[in-house]
Structure 1
Amino acid sequence: MSFSKQELVKYRIARAKEVFEDAEILVERKRWNSAANRMYYACFYIVSAYLAQKGQEAATHSGLKSAFNQELIKSGKIDPSEGILFNKLFGMRQDADYEDFTDSEESELLPLLPKIKSLIEDIENLINKNQSTQ
């Protein structure tokens, strides 16, 4: 099945929002490692949407991080603090998913929710701005 670039971008934006809502539910249930995973993936999907709009795909998570830094941070399109957030979430997800006896903590995750929501909104706004100029 083939999808247009616009359909893919729209799907990934919706996926980012859905996964962010999953993270909020997991936080409410105090499922910290799973919440860390979903927090990262919410950002992963919105960055993937931005790259898809540009006709780019990242084959790996590291490639996505690199493209994020190049396309959005170094270009000045979003605040560098959002790059720090994305990199932090990547590390937290790695630890939560692959390290034994690692527990993400409430005090570490709760303050990140509004920052993640802001990152999703900022990148979605860039996508919408790019669509209106195409």
Structure 2
Amino acid sequence: MTGTKNDLINYRIARAKDTYDDASILAEREKWNSTINRLYYAAYYAVMALLLDSDLKPTTHNGAKSNFSEYFIKTGKIDSKYGKMYSQLFTWRQKGDYDDLFDFHKDNVEPYFEPVNDFISMIESMIQK
């Protein structure tokens, strides 16, 4: 890593926002499996920024999910609805990427746009405090 810790945190927040925008473009084209992938990664980059802000450096996606749950959901710092959302996106991203003969549909995916956007904004606000 080059740059400061804050540089990396800011980069991850920017990446979360860019990836969220990518999800919107994919949704317009009705590429639902890819949209879920991008929504998950948008949330993941935000989580990784938050964890780094707390000096936590998981090396796997499972590690990020575990650290997020342990240090932010179970402690009540972040509403449990976001923990459930992140876990669901984690599971669905794996299904969409690795399971054969599995396709998401608009009705499954579209309800996640607003919560993921809110999630990224909330994490950005928490980091700036």
Could you state the TM-score of these two structures normalised by the residue count of structure 1?
0.93
Deviation, structure 1 residue 75: 1.6
Q: Which amino acid aligns with 1:102?
A: F
Deviation, structure 1 residue 116: 0.5
Deviation, structure 1 residue 19: 0.2
1:71 paired to 2:74: no
Q: Distance in 1 between matches of 2:125 and 2:104?
A: 30
Residue of structure 1 in register with 2:19 after alignment:
19
Could you state the TM-score of these two structures normalised by the residue count of structure 2?
0.97
Residues 9-88 of structure 1 mapped to structure 2, 5 A cutoff:
9-88=9-88
Q: How many residues align?
A: 129
Q: Distance in 1 between matches of 2:95 and 2:22?
A: 19
Deviation, structure 1 residue 53: 1.2
Q: Secondary structure at the match of 1:125?
A: helix
Deviation, structure 1 residue 113: 0.3
Q: Distance in 2 between matches of 1:42 and 1:71?
A: 20
Q: Which amino acid aligns with 1:24?
A: S
Structure 1: runs of 5+ lacking an equivalent: 130-134
Residue of structure 2 in register with 1:104 after alignment:
104
Q: Distance in 2 between matches of 1:34 and 1:99?
A: 13
Deviation, structure 1 residue 12: 0.2
Please, what is the CA RMSD of the aligned residues? Answer: 0.9
Runs of 4 or more above 2 Å deviation? none
Q: Which amino acid aligns with 1:49?
A: A
Q: Distance in 2 between matches of 1:70 and 1:2?
A: 28
Deviation, structure 1 residue 52: 1.1
Provide the identity percentage.
Answer: 43
Q: Distance in 1 between matches of 2:70 and 2:116?
A: 19
Q: Distance in 1 between matches of 2:6 and 2:31?
A: 34
Q: Which range moved further: 40-49 or 71-80?
A: 71-80
